Chain A
Amino acid sequence: MPAGRVRTDAATRFVHECDALMLFRESPLAVVYAESTAEVADAMRVLAELNLPVVARGAGTGLAGGARPCCDGVVLELSKMDSILDLDVEGFSMRVEAGVVNAAVSAAAAPHGLFFAPDPSSQIASTIGGNIATGAGGPHCLRYGTTTDHVRAVTLVDVCGVVHEITDESLLSLVIGSEGTLGIVTEAVLGLLPIPEATATLLLDFPTMEEACACVTEVLSAGLVPAALEILDQRAVAAVEESLFAAGFPRDAAAVLLAEVDGTAAEAEEAARFFEERWSARRSRTEDERAKWWRGRKGAFGAMGRIGEECYVMDGVVPRGKMAEAIRRVHAAAEQRGLPCVNVFHAGDGNLHPLLGYSRDQTDAVAAAGREIAAICVELGGTLTGEHGIGVEKREFMPLLFDEASLAAMERVRHAFDPKRRLNPGKLLPGPKVCAEAIRRKDAERVVG
């Protein structure tokens, strides 16, 4: 690697100790900055010879600790691989490097009337590589699907440094959401969609969370599939309105629902009227107002600095009919431990995002609340994560969801791609405690020098 691209200084290692899940930290041995697929392949071959673990990282916005390093390994930083390689307007696709920021894809496609559908709240910072690693979603996935529905091909560097082009949809499904445990995705061909002819955004407020959740069921039962259906509870609205993301959301409502409908002009108009007539929804009058509402929604996580020194953003999914019950139980789990809790979530998908405020002396309490919330989601017929991934956060919860045979099958898949378990060890699947790997650190430090 060229000079300066392998760093072992304390400052560099410190800023790579964790991703956006700051509950879990470890200092890597080194950080390697790759700038091309060829460099990633070279690095992987060297790391294979050295038998060192590798954790790929983009913007570090992951909320499940998927990019948390391991103490005896190397972080492979891909954020410098940020080139858009090709835009095929006729083919509705774009080839990008893994470090391209999500929002940059739609920005580059927009002049051609196209957009990239997955839009995680972190989209101004999170990278396509990270989106692929976690199977990222976002508010508009209700209508358009998640990352896995919009990736046509990837370039994957395997654990030995061999480069593979993957277009097979079964393999793509396997790689997307695999959290860097099967290989390092360095490039991707993304599917783009035509920008809808018309869009309308509506704001609804409800006196109870139950009524807000019932609205979601009623909308879908009526044959509408809005682009997005997002709910913020009262505490979330208060935090947003006191922040620089203030959007004019009503503070007195128990729940605010942000709905977006799109399609042809007639489709969007009729869907918007449905909300207006049934719930007296307020339609955004200007593009500025619409943008402000979405800034409020997408900035909600950022506004949560107001609820505690630190903020733990959870991710779980329940059947839509169980959302109100889940929210009640989530609040109880947090309150029992003295933790403030707010909820901002993708209601159309049943995808909850409880946010727990905590101070540094409450890490045990917040971890316990997290486990209980994960168990609630599974008990209600849901799952551990809808878009953040398992990471280090939930790996030990996997037996709540999967039986031994199913976990063993996943383990065999992982082993087939990475027999020595050097790719993002300690993530996704339950296993030996990661700190056991610290035993190897002394040897590893000697190797790296």
Chain B
Amino acid sequence: MSLVDPRAIAELQAQVRAGADTVDRSALDAIGEVDDSVVTVGAGVSCGAVEELAAPWLFASDRPDSTVADWIGCGCGDLLWDLLGPTRAQVLGVRAVLKDGSLVRFGGRVVKNVAGYDLTRAFVGAGNRLGFVVEATLRLRPAPRGWHAAISRDTPWHEARAAPGSAVWNGDTVLFLRAGESAPAGYQACDPDTARRALRDAWGQVRTVCALDETGGRVPQPGDVFLAGVNRIGTRAESVERTGPLWDRLEAALSGTAKR
């Protein structure tokens, strides 16, 4: 069953078949009901609207003004990693129009799913290279029972990354944030809006999330965000262009241009 207006999808399919490289998905603005901590939304819905809809469950994107389609395409919104897992873990399923105009559905509405190839996660962070997401099913998490913060002026970045929760380093001070009922030693309670705003301000600058040991020796820069405990870092560097024979095969297969 389609949540999004089939006429809007049909129109988009027609555009794609006509060779469009970019499409306007603002008409894909349907929002389903939250059920069992899962919600299905049209790709044109803003992430901020999903956050509001999700309450009291938690959905957190780095850019509330961006659409779900753009958020999935960017794939670097690992805000609150310790609560939500990576962005990929928040997207349970997608419907997408492939480059040949066909409409497909991958994944589903349940939180564990290994039926068939995981093309849902393949779409996350892939821009529009594999096709155009028209609808997404998102996983929500229980809202944390509290937020706690600590500020340190003498913690070097390489120590900050070992802290529980998230850490934002501005070159001078480190802001540590941890969601949960109890405060880690040295942390003080803070209100949720302040905590999330601080993270969002930092994440708004992030363009790439990768393992710290995959930065090629790059020294972390002020404004980088550490996803503590998982050794990942959000940086302002633009993502690396995806290329290579396996990417080419995947892209060709989904675009319908692969040789048979």
Contact = CB atoms under 8 A, between A and B. Distances in A.
Interface of A: 88, 90-93, 134-135, 137, 141, 145-146, 148-149, 152, 156, 158, 164, 166-171, 173-174, 176-178, 191, 193-194, 220-225, 263-264, 266-267, 269-271, 317-322, 346, 349-351, 381-390, 394, 398, 401-403, 405-410, 412-417, 419, 428-429
Q: Which of B83, B88, B183 has the most CB of A within 10 A?
A: B88
Given A93-B231, A263-B164, 11 more contacts: A93-B211, A148-B118, A164-B246, A168-B247, A269-B182, A318-B110, A401-B115, A409-B102, A409-B104, A412-B256, A416-B253
Given A166-B246, A194-B229, A416-B252, A383 B110 contact: yes
A92 B103 CA distance: 40
B114 interface: yes
Contacts of A322: 36
B181 A193 contact: no
Nearest to A191: B230
14 contacts: A145-B89, A148-B118, A158-B246, A173-B120, A264-B182, A264-B184, A266-B181, A269-B182, A317-B111, A349-B110, A403-B105, A405-B102, A406-B106, A412-B253
A349 B89 contact: no
Given A171-B246, A349-B112, A351-B112, A149 B89 contact: yes
B214 interface: yes
B145 A170 contact: no
A445 to B, nearest CB: 29
Most buried by B among A170, A193, A416, A428: A170
Contact of A406 (B104, B141, B231): B104
Given A176-B118, A224-B142, A170 B36 contact: no
Interface in B105-158: 105-106, 108-126, 130, 141-145, 158
* Top 10 A-B pairs, shortest CB-CB distance: A266-B182, A173-B121, A386-B112, A416-B253, A91-B213, A135-B114, A416-B249, A92-B231, A412-B253, A319-B36
B66 interface: no
Contacts of A149: 85-86, 88-89
Nearest to A194: B229
Nearest to A401: B115
Contacts of B55: none
B7 interface: no
B37 interface: yes
Given A174-B118, A174-B119, A429-B116, A350 B110 contact: yes
A64 to B, nearest CB: 9
B122 A170 contact: yes
Contacts of B27: none
A394 B125 CA distance: 30
Nearest to A321: B36
B182 A413 contact: no
B211 to A, nearest CB: 6
A146 to B, nearest CB: 7
Nearest to B114: A135
B54 interface: no
Interface residues of B, number: 69
Contact of A174 (B75, B103, B181, B250): B250
B119 A321 contact: no
A338 B124 CA distance: 46
Contacts of B246: 156, 158, 164, 166, 168, 171, 417
B14 interface: no
Contacts of A91: 211-213, 231
B258 A412 contact: yes
Contacts of A220: 37, 142
Interface in B144-190: 144-145, 158, 162, 164, 180-184
Contacts of B142: 220-225
Contacts of A90: 158, 213
Interface in B197-239: 211-214, 229-231
A94 to B, nearest CB: 12
Contacts of B247: 168, 170-171
B98 to A, nearest CB: 6
B249 to A, nearest CB: 4
B14 to A, nearest CB: 16
Contact of B144 (A141, A176, A194, A223): A223
A413 B250 contact: yes
Given A91-B213, A390-B116, A349 B111 contact: yes
B38 to A, nearest CB: 7
A410 B105 CA distance: 11
Contact of A168 (B102, B143, B242): B242
A173 B124 CA distance: 10
A141 B112 contact: yes
Given A319-B110, A382-B108, A416-B253, A390 B115 contact: yes
Contact of A415 (B109, B125, B260): B260
A297 B3 CA distance: 40
B8 interface: no
B191 interface: no
A318 B113 CA distance: 10
Given A413-B119, A417-B249, A381 B231 contact: no
Contacts of B143: 223
